[in-house]
């Protein structure tokens, strides 16, 4: 499961310490999996996504005494380790168990992407039902970092992004097009496309325009901080069709219902651990993101009591 490091303009655990939370996520995910699988009666059920190690020291490498001490002394742990599934839940097979577990961790990640121990952001409920967000989080490897609809600043000017996925080897900037298997997108001009669905036709801005803006901002941020990573762009219509083989004059990948499965297989094939330069890039990008949050009620009350 990929890690949702930034969602919209919400406060994120990862922006408080990007070097700590990726390995922490893997450890907590394993703990939650043990609780889920024990409800099914077999704690040894295999889940492939667990096979991720980290280049830096992880929580897993600490001694038992260190982990125990950390568990009792850290407020973070108490807040992050949530209860096991309610007693009595029965899963008829491994597939149902896995689906329930992944949905649980997806909600867990939404919590991490909209709150910290002391602050929180009011999350739009639409993200709980966002099928594309859910797909990326559930289907990509642990070492992939997702920035979903963030707002980045370039020279104090806010720029709305669509989707940014940072892997250990490269960065993908993605614009997603909604629709069904009855939807067809066609190029209308250099600036506009057409969206056809049955007898209905509507005009929309060429997605390449947004991608070009996103790439310009990203590359300038990287250059200003002395960072390098290959930046790739893609237009994705996961459930629909795009009636052109490639964006004219661009190196943008065009992905629709016909080639989405093969692209996903290629995209996730080289599963490697999180890299230090990836963490550094993520830290830099998070530092350029807009964040709106407020103190948690209990934290605010504590500060008032201290006055």
pLDDT tens digits, 91-114: 777 888 888 889 989 999 999 999
Q: CB–CB of 5/145 below 8 Å?
A: yes
Distance of CA 231 to the CA centre of its chain: 17
Residue 242: enclosing H or E segment and its boundaries?
A: strand 241-242
Neighbouring residues of 286: CB distance < 8 A, sequence distance ≥ 6:
5, 6, 12, 14, 15, 18
Other Cβ atoms closer than 10 A to 49: 20
Distance of CA 305 to the CA centre of its chain: 37
Q: How far is CA 299 from CA 14, 78, 117, 119, 306, in A?
A: 20, 15, 8, 8, 11
pLDDT digits (tens, 9 = 90+) for 253-295: 999 999 999 999 998 887 789 999 999 999 999 999 999 999 9
pLDDT confidence band for 36 (50 / 70 / 90): confident
């Amino acid at each position: 499961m990929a890690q949702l490091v930034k969602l919209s303009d919400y406060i994120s655990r990862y922006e408080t310490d990007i070097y700590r939370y990726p390995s922490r996520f893997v450890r907590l995910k394993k703990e939650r999996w043990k609780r889920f699988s024990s409800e099914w009666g077999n704690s040894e059920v295999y889940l492939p996504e667990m096979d991720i190690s980290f280049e830096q020291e992880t929580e897993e490498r600490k001694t038992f005494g260190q982990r125990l001490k950390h568990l009792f002394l850290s407020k973070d742990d108490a807040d992050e380790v949530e209860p096991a599934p309610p007693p009595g839940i029965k899963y008829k097979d491994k597939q149902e168990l896995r689906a329930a577990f992944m949905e649980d961790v997806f909600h867990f990640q939404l919590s991490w992407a909209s709150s910290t121990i002391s602050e929180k952001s009011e999350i739009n409920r639409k993200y709980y039902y966002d099928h594309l967000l859910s797909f990326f989080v559930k289907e990509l490897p642990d070492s992939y970092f997702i920035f979903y609809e963030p707002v980045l600043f370039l020279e104090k000017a806010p720029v709305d992004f669509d989707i940014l996925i940072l892997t250990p080897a490269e960065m993908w900037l993605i614009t997603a097009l909604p629709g069904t298997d009855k939807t067809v997108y066609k190029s209308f001009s250099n600036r506009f496309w057409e969206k056809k669905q049955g007898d209905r036709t509507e005009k929309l801005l060429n997605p390449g325009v947004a991608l070009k803006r996103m790439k310009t901002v990203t590359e300038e941020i990287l250059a200003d901080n002395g960072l390098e990573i290959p930046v790739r762009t893609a237009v994705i219509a996961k459930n629909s069709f795009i009636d052109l083989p490639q964006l004219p004059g661009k190196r943008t990948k065009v992905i629709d219902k016909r080639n989405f499965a093969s692209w996903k297989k290629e995209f996730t094939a080289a599963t490697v651990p999180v890299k230090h330069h990836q963490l550094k890039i993520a830290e830099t990008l998070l530092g350029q993101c807009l964040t709106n949050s407020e103190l948690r009620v209990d934290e605010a009350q504590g500060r008032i009591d201290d006055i």
